[in-house]
Amino acid sequence: MSELDMDFLLGAEDDEGRDRRRTRGSGRRGSRRRRRRRNRGGFIAPLLAFIILAGIIGGGGYFGYQWLSGALVPDDFTGQGKGEVIVEIKQGQSASDVAQELERQGVVASARAFTNAISNAGKSDSLQPGQYAMRKGMSAANAVLLLDSGNRMLVRVTIEEGLRLSDTLTQLAKKTGKQEKEFAAAAKKAGALDLPSYARGKLEGYAFPATYDFQPKTTPSEMLGAMVERFSQTADKVGLAEGAKSLGHTPHEIVTIASIIQAEAGRHEDMPKISRVIYNRLNHNPPMRLKMDSTVMYGLNTYGTAATHAQLESKSKYNTYMYDGLPPGPIANPGDDAIEAALKPAKGDWLWFVATDPKSNVTKFASTDAEFQALLDEYRRNGG
């Protein structure tokens, strides 16, 4: 084979190789163009998928937000509500317990609304036991306001100084709407009333006269117990036990003396002097009987300012015209002034006193029998 022939062959081969390379190169460029065209279509599809997914997520987020808002913001009424519902908070109940009861009675729309409202008001721990007048369909915030301890339903009872126990029980029954027999039964159960030991198991003299605020459901026993507690507070304040000892008497005797002072005095300013008369008679030598008409009347279960001759013949131990010393116990429930007068009698040598003018309650005092008779004459002239 000639060199020309070889060159021809090689040239032909090179040309063919170049042709093949061009063909392959052209194929790759075509493939790239086809891929670019395919990639343009492939970009749009994911974009559309992303937009659709974003819409789904966005819609779900909106509805999720709505659901979450409903969960975080509980149902609540608006306004003051209407009608009346009596709600009782019992001892030891938490704000959550009260919230459940309010929802049950239709006062608030949901327990959660109330617990949120009372927490926001900083009053979760301030709920006080008692009964409250509420309304149906109230906003939780207004319900919190009405459950303030100052809005508790109370029965206000004022017991006057110097009432006998029987009259005190009658007044309590009348003012609270409860049965008098319930009070009478409670008065006999000294153990439940926490009476002081020196009271000898008797309530007379220890049901302290004052103004009381009772819950509607307070029992007669609880009311009487509150009155005894008030007596004990007063006794501590005036130093009853110590004062009685310094005077040579028991606390029970001091309360008895105070009850006589309360029954006999027409004015508070006369109490220390009446107290002195009682002590002067008790300490007199020879002994003198007290001769107090108020004790005679108590023993006879009657009322009056001056005992008759027939009444003075009573065999009752409360007849201080017939028996020496003090009567067996108090004849009424004394107040602060009478107890203090019994502990701090005025200075003087009086042995008698007479309410010379029944209309003005003026009381005058005498140290001798002659002075006493003159006061009696004045009393008669004034219609006594």
Question: What is the pTM (predicted TM-score) of this model?
Answer: 0.71
Q: Which domain holds residue 247?
A: 165-348
pLDDT tens-digit map of 238-265: 999 999 999 999 999 999 999 999 999 9
Does the pLDDT of residue 30 top 80, yes or no?
Answer: no
Q: What is the pLDDT of residues 303-326, one digit of tens each?
A: 988 899 999 999 999 999 999 999
**What's 138's domain CATH number?**
3.30.1490.480
Please give the single-letter amino acid code of residue 37: R
**Measured between alpha carbons, how far is 86 from 252 in angstroms, rounded to an integer?**
43
* More confidently predicted of 367 and 382: 367
Check whether residue 110 and residue 256 sit in a common domain.
no
Distance CA 337, CA 271 (A): 8
Nearest C-alpha neighbor of 83 from the set 143, 130, 138, 139: 138
72, part of any domain: no
Q: Grade residue 67 by pLDDT with cuts at 50, 70 and 90.
A: low
The count of domains in the chain is 2
Do residue 109 and residue 180 come from a single domain?
no
Q: pLDDT (tens digit, 9 = 90+) per residue, 110-167?
A: 999 999 999 999 999 999 988 899 999 999 999 999 999 888 888 889 999 999 999 9
111 and 238 share a domain? Answer: no
Whether residue 319 sits in one domain with residue 194: yes
* Domain annotation covers residue 314: yes
As a residue count, the chain comes to 384
Q: Are residues 124 and 202 in the same domain?
A: no
Residue that is written with structure tokens 């007048």 in the block: 133
Residue 289 lies in a domain: yes
171 and 310 assigned to the same domain: yes
The Cα 106–Cα 136 span in angstroms is 5
